[in-house]
Structure 1
Amino acid sequence: MSVHRRLGTAAGAVLLTLTVAGCSDLGRTAVGTITYETGHENEVMVTSPSVKGCHELGPDGARKVENETLVDIIMYPTENCRGEESVYVPANSGNEIVPGTPPWRSYSVVH
């Protein structure tokens, strides 16, 4: 095999690896369900949410959450996944707000 052919094959392999690595995060989800109870005691179930971005919980927010996914989540009192009063909820566990505190308004996935 010539040197040029080996270099071309190696360069193609590197390019393919970089392309796959760059796209591997696209469409990734937290496998499982996140169930939360709103301020009006409605139950909402989200199946396999994206691991990217901030997920809003609607106008009523959430007062109780069950994280039945394979990854941890963080609950926030704001709609933009920021704030000092965030709560870490490990995979396959749950949590609820302390009475008298504002509801959670968003969550993000730890990945």
Structure 2
Amino acid sequence: MSTHRRLGLAAAAALLPLAVAGCSGLGRSAVGTITYETERELVVTVTSPPVEGCHRLGPAGATRIENDTLVDLVAYPTRDCRGPLSTYIPSKTADSIVPGRLPWRSYSVVH
């Protein structure tokens, strides 16, 4: 293999992760599922939500969120993804509210 070709392949391989990360906000979805549980133990699964905007959880909110997507989430106790007491939930992890706290009512995708 020629030196120029090897350098070209190495450059393309190095730039690929940057290109993929840069496209995440272009009408894309968070690949994977977000599963949440309500206070009444109802389990809801959302598949590949859009990365843009604020996403409301069910009317009762969520007491536990499992983030099985390729991106991180931020969960909020408000319906508009604002205010204090937000919780960062990294990709491929789960979190539960602290007893006595309000349930999460919305989430946004970190992109």
User: Could you tell me the TM-score, scaled by structure 1's length?
Assistant: 0.76
d(CA) in 2 for partners of 1:31, 1:24: 10
Which residue is equivalent to 2:11? none
Give the partner amino acid of 2:82. R
User: Could you tell me the TM-score, scaled by structure 2's length?
Assistant: 0.76
Which residue is equivalent to 1:74? 74
Which residue is equivalent to 2:98? 98
- Is the alpha carbon distance of 1:39 and 1:70 closer, same or farther for their aligned partners in structure 2, counting shifts above 3 Å? same
Select the structure of larger CA radius of gyration. 1
How many pairs are equivalent?
89
Gaps of 5+ in 1: 1-22
d(CA) in 2 for partners of 1:44, 1:87: 19
* Identity between Structure 1 and Structure 2 (%): 64
d(CA) in 1 for partners of 2:25, 2:62: 28
The CA RMSD over aligned residues, in Å, is 1.5
Gaps of 5+ in 2: 1-22
Which residue is equivalent to 1:35? 35
- Is the alpha carbon distance of 1:110 and 1:25 closer, same or farther for their aligned partners in structure 2, counting shifts above 3 Å? closer
